Amino acid sequence: MRDSTKVPVLVLAGLVAALILIFGGMVLGANPTVYDSLKSVLPAGWTGASGTAGADFRLQEEVLKKLEDSYYEKVDPTILTTQAIDGMVAGLDDPYTVYFDPQEYAGFQQETKGSYSGVGMTVEMKDRLVTIVSTFKGSPADLAGVHSGDVILAVDGVSTDGQNLDEVVAKIKGAENSTVELTLYRPPFAGTTTTSAVPPGSSQTTSSSTTTTTEPLTTTADSSNLPPGGTTTTYNLTRKTIDIPVTQSELLTVGTKKVALISFYTFSEGSAKALRDEVRKAVESDKVDAVILDLRSNGGGLLNEAVDVASIFIPSGPIVSTEGLHSPRQVYDATGGAYTKVPLYVLTDPFTASASEIVSGALQDDKRATLVGETTFGKGLVQSIEPLSNGGALKVTTAVYLTPKGRDINKKGITPDVSAVDNPNTPNVDECVQAALGLIGGTKASN
Active site residues: 354, 365, 379
By the 8 A CB rule, do 361 and 322 touch? no
Residue 274 β-bridge partners: none
The residues, ordered by sequence, that sit 6+ positions from 173 with a Cβ below 8 Å of its Cβ are 107, 116, 117, 118, 239
Alpha-carbon separation of residue 212 from 202, 209, 264, 270, 375 (angstroms)? 20, 10, 22, 29, 7
- The amino acid at residue 31 is N
Q: Annotate the chain with three-state secondary structure.
A: CCCCCCCCCCCCHHHCCCCCCCCCCCCCCCCHHHHHHHHHHCCCCCECCCCCEECCCHHHHHHHHHHHHHCCCCCCHHHHHHHHHHHHHHCCCCCCCEEECHHHHHHHHHHHCCEEEECCEEEEEECCEEEEEEECCCCHHHHHCCCCCCEEEEECCEECECCCHHHHHHHHCCCCCCEEEEEEEECCCCCCCCCCCCCCCCCCCCCCCCCCCCCCCCCCECHHHCCCCCEEEEEEEECEEEECCCEEEEEEEECCEEEEEEEECCECCCHHHHHHHHHHHHHHHCCCCEEEEECCCCCCECHHHHHHHHCCCCCCCEEEEEEECCEEEEEEECCCCCCCCCCEEEEECCCCCCHHHHHHHHHHHCCCEEEEECCCCCCCEEEEEEECCCCCEEEEEEEEEECCCCCCCCCCCCCCCEECCCCCCCCCCCHHHHHHHHHHHCCCCCC
In whole angstroms, give the CA distance from residue 172 to residue 397.
Answer: 25
Tell me which amino acid residue 196 is. S
Q: How many Cα atoms are found within 13 Å in the side-chain-facing hemisphere of 377?
A: 29
- Give the Cα separation of 416 and 437 in Å (integer): 16
